[in-house]
C-alpha cells in the first residue's frame, strides 16, 4: 500500500514524554515519514499566542520534542522551529508555550519568520503567489505540527489552517480583508498549503480544544497522535473524530477531489486506531452555517452584504472581562475597533467588521463572544 494517503492514528493518553515519543514514532513510521538525510528541517507548530500548554491553544512542547527526535532519527542535519504568532513577540510566546525549553534542550534552532519572500504558485486554484516567511521557503523540508481545535471562521483547525502562521506577522490581516467570506478564505488556505508544501504532518490531538476555539475554548481529552503525508487527508480524519462532517470544513470542501491538492477522501486509508471508534462524544463544535452562495449569486452586492451582516455571527465584547490589552484593536484588519472613554472593552463598528474573528482568536481574557443577532 502506498503511504501517500495513509493517516496513522496512535493512542496517546497523556503528555508524558516517553508516551508521546512512542506515539509520534509509531504514527510517523506507519504514515511513511520520509528520509531526511542531511536536510534542514523546519518544524511548524501552532504557536498562536503566549499561552500555557495546559490551555490547549498551542501545540504541546512534548509533541514538538518528539517530532524533533523523529526527524533527527530520519537523518535531519539541522532542525529549526518557527511560527508567526498572531500579534505577540515571539520571545514571550516561546517562553510561555514551553518552546524555548524544547529548543534549548534538544539542540534545535529558532527560525525567524519576520522576513517575507514571494513564492510563485502557478498551479494554485485561486492564488498565483504568496508572501511567506523566508525561513519557510529556505527549509529543505517543512514538517507541520498542528493542534486539533475548533475555529470560529473555519469551524475546525488542523494541518491546513496551521500553515497560515507561515505568513509573516500582520500580513495575515490583509488576507482577511481580501477574502472576508468563508469560501474564499478557504480557497486561499488550500492554495497556501500548496505554496508551503509540508512533507509530513504530525497532529497533537492528545488534548484538543472544544467550544469557542482556537483560543478561548476548553481543553478536551482526545488521546491521539495523528500523522500523514497529506494534511488534507489528516484533517478529514481528525475533523471526523471530533464529530464534524468533514465536508463541512470549508477548506476540505474546496480541495476534495481536486487533483491540484492531491486530495481525494475516498483514497484515504487509516492505520492504527480506528477513527470510528475514537469519535469523542458530545465534543462541543462550532456550529456550521451553510454559506449563502445562493444569495451571493442572486442578490446585489449591497444586499448580500446587509444579509451577511445580519445573519453571520458577530463579535460581542464583555466590558467586565476585557483587560484592555489592545490585541484585538491591533490585529483587526478592518480597523473596526476603537477604545473610547467610559468603556472598558473596545467598541465595534459593525458596518466595517468583516466577521473574520481575528479579535476572538487573540483575546487573552475570553472577553469576546461570537453570536448571531437574536
Considering only residues 64-93, where is the footprint of ligand SF4 by CB under 6 A? Answer: none
DSSP state of 10: E
Q: Is 48 in the site for ligand SF4 (CB under 6 A)?
A: no
Among 129, 298, 324, 343, binds ligand SF4 (CB under 6 A): 324
Among 9, 30, 66, 358, binds ligand SF4 (CB under 6 A): 358
CB closer to ligand SF4, 72 vs 305 = 305
Tally of CB atoms within 10 A around 294: 9
Tally of CB atoms within 10 A around 240: 17
Report yes or no: 369 and 313 within 8 Å, Cβ to Cβ: no
Report yes or no: 224 and 31 within 8 Å, Cβ to Cβ: no
CA end-to-end distance (rounded Å), the chain: 52
Q: Is 286 in the site for ligand SF4 (CB under 6 A)?
A: no
Concatenating the DSSP letter of every residue in 58-94 gives: S--HHHHHHHHHHHHHTT-SEEEE----SSS-HHHHH
Among 326, 338, 343, 373, binds ligand SF4 (CB under 6 A): 326
CB of 293 to ligand SF4, least distance (A): 21
DSSP state of 288: P
R_g over Cα of the chain: 20
Stretch that binds ligand SF4, among 58-66, 156-164, 300-308, 333-341 (CB under 6 A): 333-341
Cell of 109: 534552532
Among 56, 356, 373, 374, binds ligand SF4 (CB under 6 A): 356
Q: Is 49 in the site for ligand SF4 (CB under 6 A)?
A: no
Stretch that binds ligand SF4, among 114-122, 123-131, 196-204, 361-369 (CB under 6 A): 361-369
- The alpha carbon torsion through 305, 311, 317, 321 (nearest 10 deg) reads -150
Report yes or no: 210 and 239 within 8 Å, Cβ to Cβ: no
Considering only residues 125-164, where is the footprint of ligand SF4 by CB under 6 A? Answer: none
Cell of 13: 493518553
CB closer to ligand SF4, 234 vs 367 = 367
CB closer to ligand SF4, 87 vs 263 = 87
- Total residues at interface with ligand SF4 (CB under 6 A): 28
Among 25, 47, 194, 334, binds ligand SF4 (CB under 6 A): 334
Considering only residues 289-318, where is the footprint of ligand SF4 by CB under 6 A? Answer: 315, 317
State how far the Cα of 114 lies from the Cα of 84, in Å rounded to an integer. Answer: 7
Among 121, 285, 325, 369, binds ligand SF4 (CB under 6 A): 325
State how far the Cα of 340 lies from the Cα of 353, in Å rounded to an integer. Answer: 17
Among 269, 359, 369, 373, binds ligand SF4 (CB under 6 A): 359
Contacting positions for ligand SF4 (CB under 6 A)? 315, 317, 322-328, 332, 334, 336-337, 345-346, 348, 353-359, 362-363, 365, 367-368
Amino acid at each position: 500500500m502506498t503511504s501517500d494517503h495513509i493517516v496513522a492514528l496512535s493512542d496517546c493518553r497523556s503528555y508524558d514524554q516517553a508516551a508521546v515519543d512512542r506515539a509520534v514514532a509509531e504514527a510517523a513510521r506507519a504514515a511513511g515519514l520520509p528520509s531526511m538525510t542531511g536536510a534542514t528541517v523546519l518544524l511548524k507548530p501552532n504557536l498562536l499566542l503566549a499561552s500555557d500548554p495546559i490551555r490547549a491553544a498551542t501545540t504541546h512542547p512534548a509533541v514538538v520534542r518528539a517530532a524533533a527526535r523523529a526527524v533527527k532519527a530520519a537523518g535531519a542535519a539541522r532542525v529549526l522551529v518557527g511560527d508567526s504568532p498572531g500579534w505577540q513577540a515571539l520571545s514571550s510566546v516561546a517562553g510561555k508555550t514551553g518552546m524555548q525549553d524544547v529548543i534549548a534542550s534538544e539542540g534545535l534552532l529558532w527560525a525567524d519568520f519576520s522576513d517575507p519572500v514571494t513564492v510563485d504558485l502557478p498551479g494554485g486554484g485561486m492564488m498565483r503567489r504568496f508572501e511567506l516567511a523566508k525561513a519557510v521557503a529556505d527549509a529543505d523540508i517543512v514538517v507541520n505540527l498542528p493542534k486539533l481545535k475548533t475555529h470560529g471562521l473555519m469551524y475546525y483547525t488542523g494541518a491546513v489552517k496551521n500553515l497560515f502562521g507561515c505568513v509573516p506577522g500582520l500580513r495575515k490581516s490583509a488576507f482577511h480583508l481580501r477574502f472576508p467570506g468563508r469560501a474564499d478564505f478557504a480557497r486561499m488556505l488550500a492554495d497556501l498549503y500548496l505554496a508551503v508544501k509540508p512533507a509530513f504532518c504530525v497532529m497533537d490531538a492528545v488534548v484538543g480544544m472544544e467550544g469557542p476555539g482556537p483560543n478561548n475554548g476548553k481543553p478536551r481529552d482526545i488521546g491521539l497522535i495523528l500523522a500523514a503525508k497529506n494534511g488534507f487527508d489528516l484533517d478529514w480524519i481528525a475533523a471526523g473524530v471530533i464529530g464534524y462532517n468533514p465536508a463541512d470544513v470549508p477548506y476540505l470542501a474546496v480541495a476534495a477531489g481536486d487533483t491540484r491538492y492531491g486530495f481525494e477522501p475516498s483514497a484515504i486509508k487509516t492505520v492504527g486506531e480506528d477513527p470510528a471508534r475514537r469519535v469523542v462524544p458530545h465534543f462541543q463544535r462550532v456550529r456550521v452555517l451553510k454559506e449563502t452562495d445562493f444569495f451571493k449569486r442572486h442578490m446585489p452586492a449591497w444586499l448580500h452584504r446587509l444579509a451577511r451582516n445580519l445573519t453571520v455571527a458577530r463579535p460581542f465584547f464583555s466590558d467586565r472581562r476585557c483587560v484592555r490589552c489592545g490585541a484585538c484593536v491591533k490585529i483587526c484588519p478592518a480597523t473596526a475597533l476603537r477604545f473610547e472613554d467610559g468603556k472598558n472593552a473596545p467598541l465595534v463598528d459593525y458596518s466595517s467588521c468583516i466577521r473574520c474573528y481575528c479579535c476572538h482568536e487573540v483575546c487573552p481574557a475570553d472577553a469576546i463572544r461570537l453570536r448571531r443577532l437574536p
